[in-house]
Structure 1
Amino acid sequence: LSYAIPVIGGHHGANDCAKRLAGLGITPVISTATEVMGRKSVEEIAKSENLTVVNRSSTRKVNGAILDSDVPILRVNPPKVIVANPGVSVLVNDSKYVIGIGCRLGTTEEEVMSAVREGCKKAGISESDAKIFATTIKKFHEAGLKTAAEKLNANLIFLDDETINSQMPPSKSCAERLGLCGVSEPCATALSREGVLILEKTVFGRVTIAIAK
């Protein structure tokens, strides 16, 4: 064996695997466009700063833009609310789980915080391992949701309709009347690493919670 040539998943571990094989005298052949052009991909930026790309479906579009020009990196200090469109990669400090949240109009911060805690308890996970909250952009003006995320020291990310509807949630949702396939479940899976629900849509009063890993 003389060469290690990643065929798929170059930015998702294959390039790193090929480079490690160099220790055995095997020549790595890296052909992903960003590396060939001497530019850092989104995944490399995340790795170098010990961050996680929470919306991995965005990286193809962003890496394509990196090939054409310098893409700015915006560093946001908390507390802040992030609105992410398909062409924006969101990098955050590592979080094992993503909590998708749906809520009724005017839901209070106490209701959201209680639902998050009960959801984590039901899923058998620690709140400290779930610091990414996701919901629809249609909930952008819900003050209770924003305040709850701030008090729980979580990253709150609002997703556009396209990102949400790219998912295939297992549960039916009344959000269909808003043109969405759901809220809590698709928001959770859209930003999770594996896209696997460990807690399907569960209603706690006026709040709906789903958790994905």
Structure 2
Amino acid sequence: MKRLLEKYDLLVAIMAVGIVTRSLCRHLQDKWRDRPVVAVDSALSCAVPVVGGHHGANDLALLLAERMGLYPAITTATDASGRPCLESVAGRLKADIVNKSSSKSINLAFLTEDVPILRLKGPKILLVDEDVAVLKAKGLVLGVGARKGVSSEEVLQAIDQALAESGRKREDIAFLATAWLKKEEEGLLEAAKSLDREIVFLSREELNSQKPSTPSRAEDLGLAGVAEPAVLALAKRLILPKKAYGRVTVAIGEN
């Protein structure tokens, strides 16, 4: 069982729920790390999410119902009541749940009321109670460097080329990032406005604290770089190292 859980993202076990439970119990960690598992009876009549209901098991049971006619025996309170849950809201918003401990309070609240969703734009510091969920937007971080006087068309063309090379599209962009020196660069500002995305301006210290994999002309300005250091500072992983497209450099990271 351990090998299967490590190898696959989702599991369908054609056996009794009791057998599945006994097989799984020694390998369970918590609801955020456990693999979604659905038990299906030998007659292929019922699909029961056993573990990870809000993390894929419920959706898998519904898929089996749609494709094979099985009855989806979904037992999570919010789904059984036709109500949303924190995990589904985060998925719809393409966001990570920062304070996962809030899920119990939020999901209990969802059973009886519509929980409001507020979006805050920074820079801000957020102090919350235990029953307030904090979501952090996922998506691509585009680090952008540009020569002075660059046009928005040049910036957008460079971004589109970088996205195409990464197999991504504009809709995947969470925000842009660049150096504080570019706060007045009209072409860059206009490009961000055209994309309907915010720009984060990083300080010299923030950029120079990173270790980019590629050399940069920004070294002449005493910087480790712009595009790639900006991504390294703000994204979980780098998926496209800095690359030059004419007068624009682009690096892409992902959260």
TM-score range, shorter chain: 0.5 to 0.7
Which TM-score applies when normalising by structure 2? 0.49
Pair 178,49 (structure 1): closer, same or farther in 2 beyond 3 Å? farther
1:140 corresponds to: 183
- The runs of 5 or more residues in structure 1 that have no matched partner are 1-11, 21-40, 53-93
Amino acid at match of 2:233: A
Secondary structure of 1:187's aligned partner: helix
Match of 1:25 in 2: none
In the alignment, is residue 173 of structure 1 matched against residue 229 of structure 2?
no
Q: Is the 8 A contact 2:102 2:132 kept in 1?
A: no
Query: Aligned residue for 1:189?
Result: 232
Assess, with a 3 A threshold, how the Cα gap between structure 1 residues 48 and 102 changes in structure 2: closer, same or farther.
farther
Task: Give how far 1:127 is off.
Answer: 1.2
How far does the alpha carbon of each residue in 1:48-87 deviate from its partner, in whole angstroms, 9 at most, with x for none? 47642xxxxxxxxxxxxxxxxxxxxxxxxxxxxxxxxxxx
- Cα RMSD of the aligned pairs, angstroms, is 2.8
Contact 1:131 1:153 in 2 (8 A): no
In structure 1, the residue matched to 2:251 is 210
Larger Rg: 2
Give the fraction of aligned pairs with identical amino acids, expressed as a percent: 37
Letter in 1 for 2:167: G
Mapping of residues 1-213 of structure 1, within 5 Å: 16=100, 42=126, 48=132, 51-52=135-136, 94-192=137-235, 194=236, 196-213=237-254
Aligned counterparts of 2:102 and 2:193: Cα–Cα separation in 1: 41
The one of the two structures with greater contact order (alpha-carbon pairs below 8 A, sep at least 6) is 1
The answer to whether the 8 Å contact 1:134/1:188 transfers is: yes
Q: Secondary structure at the match of 2:196?
A: coil
1:135-181 CA-partner distances (Å, limit 9, x unpaired): 00111121000000001111111111111111111111111111110
SS in 2 for 1:157: strand
Structure 1 residue aligned with 2:27: none
1:49 & 1:14 partners in 2: Cα distance? 7
Q: Distance in 1 between matches of 2:216 and 2:247?
A: 14
Is the 1:95–1:132 Cα contact (8 Å) retained in structure 2?
Answer: no
Residue identity matched to 2:141: V
Would you say how many aligned residue pairs link Structure 1 and Structure 2? 138
- Counterpart Cα distance in 2 of 1:44 and 1:168: 34
Contact kept, 8 Å, 2:98 with 2:135, in 1: the verdict is no
